[in-house]
Amino acid sequence: MVEHKSHPEWLTVEHYLSDTLLKPDAALEQAVADAAAAGMPAIEVAPTAGKFLMLLARISGARRVLEIGTLAGYSSIWLARGLPEDGTVLSCEFVAKHAEVARRNIDRAGVGEKVEIRLGPALDTLASLTGQFDLIFIDADKGNNVNYLSRALELSHSGTVIVVDNVIWEGLFLDPEAQGDELAIRQTLEFLGSSEQLEATAIQTASSKGWDGFAVAVVK
């Protein structure tokens, strides 16, 4: 896992944006605290990015959301809050301990009826799914991003929104000798850019998560 380096100015701006644009939220704050108490890595999306996911779900009119990578359920909560009453989030998580923490966090946030967590390798879960999703959020092991994207396209319809987190990774993917996650990220971006089925772009971010960013694509 890359060590993200945040500048003091980035943190100051992030705190201002969060204080100004987001309301205090005990459920989300407790979700982060519970993740830390369980020894989980602090790699959940930043609060402003979480609200972006919520707004994107609402703007797109999503009713059925697929999330690859639950962790402690932080982004799951945001996504569920962006859905109508009959909306659902199906979230894939490999680690049982993470799924247990996420289940408690999601239920405490009051969106438990909207979120189902499927435990096991995400590719196995994806292979078992049918139907089409309106929004797909990919935030799991980077080495499988292209595999996740390939399956996501099979579970999509025209207009499905696909978001892939961590596509900047401190710019390390630009190294011609890049291997591991860095190479996987470059391959992810190349897949998005070359796919005839997608219109895609990427946004760089500077925050408590360091210099990173996400890709957003729409299925044609």
pLDDT tens digits along 70-129: 999 999 999 999 999 999 999 999 999 999 999 999 999 999 999 999 999 999 999 999
pLDDT tens digits along 115-172: 999 999 999 999 999 999 999 999 999 999 999 999 999 999 999 999 999 999 999 9
pTM over 0.85? The answer is yes
Distances (CA, A) of 60 to 65, 131, 174: 11, 18, 32
Reported as type and span, the H/E element at residue 15 is helix 8-21
Fold of 8-219: Rossmann fold (3.40.50)
Q: Which of 40-44, 75-79, 167-171, 187-191 has the lowest mean pLDDT?
A: 40-44
Domain map of the chain by residue range?
8-219
Reported as type and span, the H/E element at residue 162 is strand 161-165
Q: Which amino acid is at 210?
A: G
Reported as type and span, the H/E element at residue 93 is strand 88-93
Give the distance between the most distant pair of CA atoms in the chain.
Answer: 48
Q: Which residue has the tokens 């704050």?
A: 29
**Alpha carbon 166 to chain centroid distance?**
9
Distances (CA, A) of 128 to 120, 124, 151, 169: 12, 7, 11, 31
Listed in sequence order, the DSSP H helices in 47-195 are 47-60, 74-81, 96-108, 122-128, 145-154, 180-194
